[in-house]
């Protein structure tokens, strides 16, 4: 992390009035939440992640798909927000006209204090009916791995008795229209977009930073590696979000380190 770059990014943030923070899998990976394909561990190694994440897979074997997503949700439950999530919430609290947009399906932004982040790819904590789309409560019990696999029968919809499905966006499905529309609107009207931990390769979500840049917003990128978003970023801060974002917040507002304690770069979700 280059200090002149941090100072340049801090100057942009200090003068911004409308901020969008756009996050991807990288920020949650720092809390121990496996990325989509990294989640295939243990007994799941015999499956293809993409083959499990389709409407067709749920239709053909709903217990298999529900079991995998419930296992993933149980891992998220054990994770804790890291200092990057807390810094995002700090930016949101200090810039009244700010919006958090995430590609992540976990609830770590909410637990860190962000208010109503826009979930472009849905949420593990918002299951819904597979037929009438009526919301269903997320199960309370942690998933236990049975000896012969992780198949679990999905619950039934309270309204129509059809099977409840995970509340995530599967391959071949459109992003939730309301969240996408709100995200594009926020990106179109912001004067600064901070993109964190995303490869910039997954469309249409990856178009959000591009929209902001095309309409004149400044772009700060936080990522340990180079990405296609380097082409539109005014400043690229190389490093993990749990280190870079607190440093950025401190550079602008002088926040006490205590604000970022209690959640380190890695959580307990491992």
**108 plus 145 within the same structural domain:** no
DSSP string covering 125-148? T--EETTT--B-PPP-SPP---TT
Per-residue pLDDT of the chain (270 residues; tens, 9 = 90+): 678 999 999 999 999 999 999 999 999 999 998 776 665 555 556 677 778 899 999 999 999 999 888 888 888 998 999 999 999 999 999 999 999 999 999 999 999 999 999 999 999 999 999 999 999 998 775 545 543 457 889 999 999 999 999 999 999 999 999 999 999 999 999 999 999 999 888 889 999 999 999 999 999 999 999 999 999 999 999 999 999 999 999 999 996 656 665 444 443 332
CATH assignment of the domain containing 225? 3.40.50.1220
Please check if 190 is assigned to a binding site: no
Structural domain boundaries, residue 117: 1-32+81-123+175-265
Residues 69 and 202 in one domain: no
Query: End-to-end distance of the chain based on CA atoms, in angstroms?
Result: 25
The domain that holds 141 is classified in CATH as: 3.30.1600.10
Number of domains in the chain: 2
Please give the Cα distance from 15 to 215 (Å, whole number). 18
Whether residues 157 and 251 share a domain: the answer is no
Q: Taking the complete model, does pTM exceed 0.85, yes or no?
A: yes
Please indicate, yes or no, if residue 170 is contained in any of the structural domains: no
109 three-state secondary structure: helix
| Interatomic CA distance for residues 257 and 156, integer angstroms | 46
Same domain, 112 and 51: no
Could you tell me if 155 and 139 are in contact, meaning their C-beta atoms sit under 8 angstroms apart? yes
Same domain as 225, residue 187: yes
Instruction: Output the CA torsion 259→265→269→270 (10° steps).
Output: -170
Residue 222: inside a domain, yes or no? yes
104 in a labelled binding site: yes
Q: Which residue has the tokens 């949101």?
A: 92
pLDDT at 256: 65
Same domain, 251 and 187: yes
Q: Write out the two tokens for 34.
A: 């496996």
Same domain, 85 and 212: yes
Q: For the range 36-44, what are the long-range contacts, defined as Cβ-Cβ under 8 Å and sequence gap of 24 or more?
A: 39/72, 39/75, 42/145, 43/145, 43/149, 43/150, 44/68, 44/71, 44/150
Is 224 annotated among the ligand-binding residues?
Answer: yes
How far is Cα 249 from Cα 25, in angstroms, rounded to an integer?
21
Looking at the domain assignment, is residue 47 inside a domain? yes
Q: State the Cα–Cα distance between residues 157 and 137, nearest whole angstrom.
A: 10
Domain boundary among 138, 165, 192: 165
Q: What is the pLDDT of residue 185?
A: 98
Instruction: Classify 128 in phi/psi space as left (phi over 0), alpha (psi -120 to 50) or beta.
Output: beta
Q: How far is CA 28 from the centre of its chain?
A: 7
Residue 62 in marked binding region = no
Cα(189)–Cα(211) distance, integer angstroms: 10
8 A C-beta contact, residue 73 and residue 124: yes
**Cβ neighbour number for residue 38 with a 10 Å cutoff:** 11
**Residue 203 annotated as binding?**
no
**Cβ–Cβ < 8 Å for 28, 113:** no
Can you spell out the DSSP letters for 170-203? PTTPPPPHHHHHHHHHHHHH-SEEEEES--S-ST
Map tokens 């927000």 to a residue. 81
Q: CB within 8 A of 172, min separation 6: which ones? A: 54, 55
Give catalytic residues, as residue numbers.
121
Question: Are residues 236 and 115 both part of a single domain?
Answer: yes
């Amino acid at each position: 992390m280059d200090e002149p770059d941090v100072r340049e990014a801090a100057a942009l943030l200090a003068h911004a009035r409308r901020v969008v923070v756009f996050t991807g899998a990288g920020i949650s990976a720092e809390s121990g939440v496996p990325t989509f394909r990294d989640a295939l561990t243990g007994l799941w190694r015999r499956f293809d992640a993409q083959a499990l994440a389709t409407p067709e897979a749920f239709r053909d074997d709903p217990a298999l798909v529900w079991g995998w997503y419930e296992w993933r949700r149980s891992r998220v439950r054990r994770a804790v927000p890291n200092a990057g999530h807390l810094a995002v919430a700090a930016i949101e609290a200090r810039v009244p006209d700010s919006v958090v947009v995430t590609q992540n399906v976990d609830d770590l932004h909410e637990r860190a204090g962000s208010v109503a982040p826009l979930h472009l790819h849905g949420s593990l904590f918002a299951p819904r009916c597979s037929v009438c789309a009526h919301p269903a409560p997320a199960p309370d019990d942690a998933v236990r791995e049975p000896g012969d696999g992780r198949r679990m029968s999905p619950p039934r919809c309270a309204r129509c008795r059809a099977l409840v499905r995970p509340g995530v966006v599967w391959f071949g499905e459109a992003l939730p229209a309301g969240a996408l529309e709100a995200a594009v609107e926020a990106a179109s009207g912001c004067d600064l977009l901070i993109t964190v931990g995303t490869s910039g390769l997954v469309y249409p979500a990856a178009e959000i930073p591009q929209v902001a840049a095309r309409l004149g917003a400044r772009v700060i990128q936080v990522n340990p590696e180079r990405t296609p978003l380097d082409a539109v970023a005014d400043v690229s801060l190389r490093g993990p979000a749990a280190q870079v974002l607190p440093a950025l917040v401190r550079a602008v507002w002088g926040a006490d380190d205590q604000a970022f304690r209690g959640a380190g770069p890695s959580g307990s979700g491992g």
